[in-house]
Amino acid sequence: MRIATYNVEWFNALFDDTNALSPDEGPSARHDITRRQQIDALGQVFRSLDADAVLVVEAPDENTTRSTRRALEDFAAAFSLRTRRAAIGFANNTQQEIALLYDPDLMQVRHDPHEDMQAPRFDGTFRIDLDIDATQDAVVFSKPPLELLIDTANGRTFRLIGAHLKSKAPHGARTRDEVMRRSIANRRKQLAQAIWLRRRIDAHLDAAEPLVVMGDLNDGPGLDEYEHLFGRSSVEIVMGDPASDKALFDPHARQALLRRLGATPTTARFYLSDQKRYLQALLDYIMVSPDLMARRPAWRIWHPFDDPACWKDHTLREALLTASDHFPVTLDLDI
């Protein structure tokens, strides 16, 4: 089975209010790219992935007039994708949902949110002392993680959690002091979300349930100067202690953690207009529980410059660059 995670930049802007694709020459939300260009590029990427399930981060909006499921299923039909059914969990108000496009011939999928004394449901409120002032702070997810129970056609069952953690970027900050304050506050909130997510992971692992945790964690080891203030990145919290029998595994995250200097894998590419250059970062992950490591997992980042097959395929390479500022990550697993 091949599963993928893919953050599609402003997928929502490619659909009209009837949830239909808008393949016209109007501007998409990506700089200097039309809606038709982005839609065609996404179709090429999804076809090339040929995945059995794709976690779509920044999926189209879900509200009283818009439907994430209908929009994604319309997209799948337009490109004759096997992943022709969509599942969504708790909707949010950011116009960036978390959803799973999947092949219904190979799996049954249902939203299965959990809660316990250690961690409330992801659409609730998590209370934790963020700044060591002996006062409980209220933490919420602007994009509640997607919790799915998946039954495969060959009789296996596993759980999947799709996440999109809070961005650390100091949006709206104008002065150096504002940048510092907002960056630290945002990292603190993101770490709290990571702790909340890790508590849910621990509950599933304690129950001996095979688990895949995937998505855009908006963090990676060594990404900014404020990480040293807190000791660990959100990625390290979600993965868990590597010496523990409950540690999740992702080879790209592990490589980045072990190699603080030198080249590391990347999954996203952003243009910094003030510096006139691109910044690359490792933000997207597929982490698996220890029991799934026996299922011959094989990871791949579909990076247009770093993956030789993507680089050699000119059509795919250009599609990856046009479709989004993130690149897909896939996991092949015998399950």
Q: Is 216 exposed, middle or buried (0-12, 13-18, 19+ CB in 10 A)?
A: buried
Give 43's pLDDT tier (boundaries 50, 70, 90): very high
CB–CB of 88/111 below 8 Å?
yes
Lowest mean pLDDT of 60-74, 133-147, 259-273, 286-300, name the range: 259-273
Phi, psi (deg, nearest 5) at residue 309: -65, -40
What pLDDT is stored for residue 135 in this prediction? 76
**Which tokens is 146 given?**
């997607």
Q: For residue 224, is pLDDT > 80?
A: no
Residue with tokens 């998505």: 215
Pairing outcome for strands 85-88 and 97-102: antiparallel
Q: Per-residue pLDDT tens for 152-199?
A: 999 999 999 999 998 766 566 667 777 677 767 778 899 999 999 999
User: 2-332 belongs to which CATH class?
Assistant: alpha beta
Q: Which residues pair with 285 in a beta bridge?
A: 215
What pLDDT is stored for residue 217 in this prediction? 96
What pLDDT is stored for residue 133 in this prediction? 65
Residue 301 host element (H or E) = strand 298-301
**HSE-CB for 297 with a 13 A CA cutoff:** 23
What pLDDT is stored for residue 280 in this prediction? 92
Phi, psi (deg, nearest 5) at residue 179: -60, -45
Q: Identify which of 285, 283, 120, 125 has the alpha carbon closest to the alpha carbon of residue 199.
A: 120
Model-level pTM greater than 0.85?
A: yes
CB–CB of 327/268 below 8 Å?
yes
Average pLDDT on 53-63 reads 97
Q: Identify which of 32, 75, 7 has the alpha carbon closest to the alpha carbon of residue 273.
A: 32
Alpha helices in 222-286 (DSSP H): 234-239, 251-258
What pLDDT is stored for residue 260 in this prediction? 63
What pLDDT is stored for residue 52 in this prediction? 98
Of the chain, the percentage scoring pLDDT greater than 90 comes to: 80
Domain range list for the chain: 2-332
**DSSP states of 153-211 as a string?**
TTS-EEEEEEEEPPP---TT--SHHHHHHHHHHHHHHHHHHHHHHHHHHHHHHHTT--E
Whole-number Å distance between alpha carbons of 111 and 242: 29
Q: Which residues pair with 109 in a beta bridge?
A: 150
Kindly state the greatest CA–CA separation across the chain. Answer: 57
Radius of gyration over alpha carbons of the chain, in Å?
A: 19
Tell me which amino acid residue 228 is: H
